[in-house]
Amino acid sequence: MAAAISADDDALEPSLQNLIDQKSLRWIFVGGKGGVGKTTTSCSLAIQMARARKSVLLISTDPAHNLSDAFSQKFGKDARLVEGFTNLSAMEIDPNGSINDLISGAGDEAQDAMSGLGGMGNMMQDLAFSIPGVDEAMSFAEVLKQVKSLSYEVIIFDTAPTGHTLRFLQFPTVLEKALAKISQLSTQFGPMLQSVIGARGGLPGGASLDDLTQKLESLRETIAEVNGQFKNPEMTTFVCVCIAEFLSLYETERMIQELASYQIDTHCIVVNQLLFPEHSNDCKQCNSRRKMQKKYLDQIEELYDEFNVVKMPLLTDEVRGVESLRRYAPIVPFKDPMLRSSVTNKTGQFFRDADSSIPTTVMILALMRRGAADDDDAGTGLHSCIHTGVRR
SS (H, E, C) 310-359: EEEECECCCCCCHHHHHHHCCCCCCECCCHHHCCCHHHCCCCCCCCCCCC
Highest mean pLDDT among 70-79, 123-132, 162-171, 179-188: 70-79
As a whole number of angstroms, the distance between CA 51 and CA 236 comes to 19
Find out whether 360 is annotated in a ligand binding site.
no
Ligand-binding annotation for 163, yes or no, is: no
Q: Report d(CA 209, CA 206) in Å as an integer.
A: 10
**371 labeled binding residue:** no
The pLDDT of residue 331: 52
Q: What's the whole-number mean pLDDT along residues 208-221?
A: 70
Strands 236-243, 268-274: pairing kind: parallel
Pairwise CA distance, residues 96 & 202, whole Å? 31
3-state DSSP call for residue 91?
Answer: strand
37 is in an annotated binding site: yes
Establish whether 34 is an annotated binding residue.
yes
Is 245 labeled as ligand-binding?
Answer: yes
For the 17-177+224-386 domain, the top CATH level (class) is alpha beta
Catalytic residue among 62, 158, 265, 336: 62
Of 110-124, 166-180, 260-274, 340-354, where does mean pLDDT reach its minimum?
Answer: 340-354
Residues 6+ apart with CB under 8 A from 178: none
The pLDDT, as a whole number, for residue 118 is 44
More confident residue, 363 or 251: 251
pLDDT at 332 over 50: no
Whole-prediction pTM: 0.71
Q: Tell me: pLDDT of 20 over 70.
A: yes
pLDDT at res. 149: 74
pLDDT for 339 = 45
Question: For the segment 69-117, what is each residue's pLDDT rounded down to a tens digit?
Answer: 999 999 988 889 999 999 999 988 765 554 455 444 444 444 444 444 4
Query: What does pLDDT average to over the chain?
Result: 71
Sequence-separated (6 or more) residues with CB below 8 Å from residue 221: none
119 falls in which pLDDT band (50, 70, 90)?
Answer: very low
62 is catalytic: yes
